[in-house]
Chain A
Amino acid sequence: MRGFGTNAVHGGQVRKDPHGALRPPLYDSVAFEFENSQDLELAFAGKKPAHAYSRITNPTVEEFEQRVKLLTDAFGVIAVSSGMAAIGQTIMALAQPGSNIVTSQHLFGHSLSLFENTLGRWGLQTRFADMTNPDSVSQKIDDQTRLVFLEIVTNPQLEIANIEEICAVAAQKGIPVVLDGTLTTGYLFNSKQAGVAVEVISSTKYISGGATAVGGLIIDNGVFDWGRNPGLNELSRSFGPGAFLVRLRREVYRNFGACLSPHNAWLQILGLETMALRIQKSSSNALSVAQFLQSRPEIKSVNYPGLIGSSFHKMAQSQFKKGFGGLLTFELTDKKECFKFMDNLKLVRKATNLNDNKTLIIHPASTIFSDYSLEERVRMSVSEGLIRLSVGIEDIEDITEDLSQALETL
């Protein structure tokens, strides 16, 4: 069996290019022509495997989906317009008004807002559990629970749950686990082996790499019996393990229209080919930066799962075999000091993306979590002195030199 890096570069091509092009072409076309009316009818009925309209399928997007399928050994993949679209559509396909999802209070701010505000207004209940304690998750699951949702590494708290244990607890109750695997992106962590039913990824991050294109992925690992979900039970009888993806492709994904543009898919295929190298470099840089920050008296605390002193180091070590990722956080005294430090940086950029090639910095309390009150942010462990650093692939000496000179201004 070929390795991840080899498959990323060579694998997954849907069909051979008629001109022998090594780089898959970009099919930047909305519609596709048919030879005759009957073929068009068959395509609409799903009886002919053909592309008809790019809101539903497109050859370049399909190429991207097939490459991700190969890399993750998934049952099937649907590429969507963003990571948030992946989360939203997954929940719309699995849950109904009156049902609930079990998740953590430690989540990306916009995911939390989607659950509590947007989907909450449509009758979905959000129940909070401590994902680092599988018993807590088990206690929150009831007969109206449709899924357990968690992040592989919570953002920005950087907590790491035992994914296998969470999946085992959920499986006992017939509930699928949906994992936001953006920070590991199928390379650092294999969600299928852990028993995750669906992995959602913001492909804007590590896959895109150079921050070229927004995108998202819904990955059905094929490990969950969709017949156990009341909303998918009937589809499951006809479509078997394809029930979840059919609900998406034939209804939720089709009707919401949050499709990935062919151009973005093409850019993300390009990014996918070098992703493993970039994750390795950003992970080794992040460990060096975390160790550097730990040695500085201006820093109150450093949180990085790669540090031996981190509460989640052992959990990370047991689950992530190829590195600890590029994201870390640290604390200064307060917001004023954070802003002063950030504004004195010369190389590191102030921006809200992560897992970019460039090292990026952000003050979460005043940006991603600004919709929440001070009390709510305390509950989410997002303090006023917290800084999030996404370490890029620059030369490590240049990153630490920049951080050092900015710290000296405090």
Chain B
Amino acid sequence: MNVIVNGEKKDFAQEQITVTSLLKLCNVEMPEMVSVQVNGKFVDKANFESTTVDENDEVDFLYFMGGGTL
């Protein structure tokens, strides 16, 4: 399954991936500090476990404690 994470195409063996498991698969440090957009829309924190990612979805992790303009 292909997913575009922060602009980079990634190939995963799993057929179905939740946002929570995607955070784990991508080795995201301090996932509680990351917000997630799927195809440009924010996913509620409460729905990370139940939201699944589809083939070719664009997923963005936003590191709000990090650098840049955040």
Contact = CB atoms under 8 A, between A and B. Distances in A.
Interface of A: 32, 38, 42-53, 56-57, 75-76, 237-242, 245-246, 249-250, 254
Nearest to B48: A240
B29 to A, nearest CB: 7
27 contacts: A42-B6, A42-B7, A45-B68, A46-B62, A46-B63, A46-B64, A47-B61, A47-B63, A48-B66, A49-B63, A49-B67, A50-B67, A51-B66, A51-B67, A52-B67, A53-B67, A56-B70, A57-B67, A57-B70, A239-B35, A239-B64, A240-B44, A241-B45, A242-B32, A245-B65, A250-B64, A250-B69
B66 to A, nearest CB: 4
Contacts of B46: 240
B69 A44 contact: yes
Contacts of B65: 49, 57, 76, 242, 245, 249
Contacts of B67: 32, 43, 48-53, 56-57
Contacts of A245: 64-65
Nearest to A40: B68
Contacts of B1: none
Contacts of B42: 237-238
B54 to A, nearest CB: 20
Nearest to B33: A242
Contact of A52 (B7, B45, B60, B68): B68
Contacts of A47: 6-7, 60-63
Interface residues of B, number: 21
A57 B46 CA distance: 28
A351 B52 CA distance: 60
A79 to B, nearest CB: 12
Given A240-B45, A240-B46, A43 B35 contact: no
Contacts of B45: 238-241
A40 to B, nearest CB: 8
Given A48-B6, A48-B68, 10 more contacts: A32-B67, A43-B66, A46-B63, A46-B66, A47-B7, A49-B63, A50-B67, A52-B68, A52-B69, A250-B70
- Tell me which of A56, A76, A242, A245 has the highest count of chain B C-beta atoms within 10 A of its own C-beta: A242
Contact of A48 (B29, B33, B44, B63): B63
Contacts of A49: 29, 63, 65-67
Contacts of A56: 67-70
A42 B46 CA distance: 25
A45 B45 CA distance: 19
Nearest to A65: B65
Nearest to B29: A49
A32 B7 CA distance: 22
Across the A-B interface, give the 10 residue pairs with the lowest CB-CB distance, nearest first.
A240-B45, A238-B42, A49-B66, A43-B68, A49-B63, A51-B67, A52-B67, A44-B68, A46-B62, A46-B70
